[in-house]
Amino acid sequence: MTHTLTLKQDDHITFQLYEASTDPFKIKKRRKSYLIMLTMGFFFILFSYLNGDNFLFYYAISCTFLFAILGNSYLRWRHKKHYVSHVKNIRKGIFDERVQIEIGEGVIKMADKTGDSHLKISEISLVNEITEFYFLKISTGPTFILPKRNIALNEEVNTMIKNYNIPHTINLDWKWK
């Protein structure tokens, strides 16, 4: 059965945010940014204390205290802003295009304005599932975004996962954090 999908800008943003929040390297990088900012704050506290500058000392304490409390929220906002900007600038022109998809025996057939393509189901290394999407990770690196807007397609994807024993992670309660 052939299904017609249309990916929107928000779909690509959601994928970028999901990848950023589940990739151990990116999580470690975000944590490192937080610790660097706190270390810089403590450095300025120590520097101003040793120089006897009371105003700078209390200012550094206030800023470091605020960052310790609100720093993760700030970094979450800053990273989300980065990914939204990235999708708008780098992926512009690929939104709202119709793609026809058909899951067949051993292959997923896709047709869009550029032509037809086939993806071997055996090349899908992982399926990540969140509330609104399936993210099909392909062994060569890219990820295929499948919105869960079509019930029949969802059933075909679940059948494909079971029949081909594709590793499947379910994060239905995932939120950007």
For residue 148, the domain's CATH number is 2.30.29.30
* pLDDT score, position 90: 84
Give the residue with greater pLDDT, 133 vs 96: 133
- As a whole number of angstroms, the distance between CA 117 and CA 114 comes to 9
Tell whether 51 and 78 lie within a shared domain.
yes
3-class secondary-structure state, position 138:
strand
Helices (H), the chain: 9-22, 24-51, 54-90, 151-163
The boundaries of the domain holding residue 69 are: 10-90
Tell whether 14 and 86 lie within a shared domain.
yes
* pLDDT score, position 98: 86
Whether 176 is in a domain gets the answer: no
- As a whole number of angstroms, the distance between CA 133 and CA 148 comes to 5
Instruction: Report the domain count for the chain.
Output: 2
Whether 177 is in a domain gets the answer: no
Tell whether 115 and 74 lie within a shared domain.
no
Q: Residues of the chain with pLDDT > 70: what percent?
A: 99
Among residues 155, 119, 153, the alpha carbon closest in space to that of 138 is found at 119
Tell whether 61 and 109 lie within a shared domain.
no
Tell whether 115 and 152 lie within a shared domain.
yes
Instruction: Work out the average pLDDT over 82-102.
Output: 85
* pLDDT score, position 141: 84
Last residue of a domain, one of 38, 61, 90: 90
pTM of the model: 0.84
Whether 70 is in a domain gets the answer: yes
* pLDDT score, position 130: 95
Summarised one tens digit per residue, pLDDT across range 99-155 is 899 998 889 999 888 889 999 999 999 999 999 999 999 998 888 899 999 899 999
Tell whether 104 and 86 lie within a shared domain.
no
- Is 80 exceeded by the pLDDT of residue 92? no
Tell whether 133 and 79 lie within a shared domain.
no
Q: What is the chain's mean pLDDT, rounded?
A: 91
Last residue of a domain, one of 90, 110, 139: 90
- Is 90 exceeded by the pLDDT of residue 21? yes
Tell whether 109 and 79 lie within a shared domain.
no
Q: Residues of the chain with pLDDT > 90: what percent?
A: 72
* pLDDT score, position 94: 74
Tell whether 144 and 74 lie within a shared domain.
no
Amino acid at 21: S
Distances (CA, A) of 43 to 29, 66, 104: 21, 15, 61
* pLDDT score, position 73: 93
* pLDDT score, position 120: 92
